Structure 1
């Protein structure tokens, strides 16, 4: 998912969930405020659903591992996160950023964390599209010179 000014909370939560855990960890602010757990990081599974032809009847594709958590900062801001896999640190960092984005540091966090993550995601998307375009086959019909 692309992230921009208009995508709001759903956009930044998706961006953090899709980001590599090491990338999010490297961009975290130095000063992390204290927090209380509303739900400590826990790992479980979620059903992934698909649709036939992307528009047809939904069906259960299978299960995937998900880690979720929720926390509250001292100022009362709550942060929530669901990330793929078992990385509790990734879920915790995503929830902290979610909570910080709802407070007075939102502009600072957007510039320091979310914008670099969005730029990296866009660069990766362009690289993938470039590789796919290199394999594109153009079919055309040639007119034969037979009369």
Structure 2
């Protein structure tokens, strides 16, 4: 009986002082992508994260990202803003303020094709980044429209 009580107390102490704790997480879903990893969108709960290859410095191959919560259908509103930017004449840059970043949508025209680049600046540490230029078809693929 003493051995049984000892074994039971030993087992109970091992369970109560466990170092591993399971934390519930929200799944991350990759929505759309341009080329392999030039730019892609991930969705986690109500948060959307856009990750892109930074072409600002040729000697460094880095990725940058910007994110926001989809509070008032902001994900679809961003697509609509970009889509309208492709149609505007003359082409004008659009500056967006997100919770942690400023994002400029830089529109340009080359050989009768319109392109958009994402230029980002973090509000706190002022890290900047510039994406490659994308066409409307690529943006539509990115947003899965």
Q: Which has the larger radius of gyration?
A: 2
TM-score relative to the length of structure 2: 0.29
TM-score relative to the length of structure 1: 0.28
> Which protein has the bigger helix share?
1
- Greater relative contact order: 1 or 2 (C-alpha under 8 angstroms, separation 6 or more)? 1
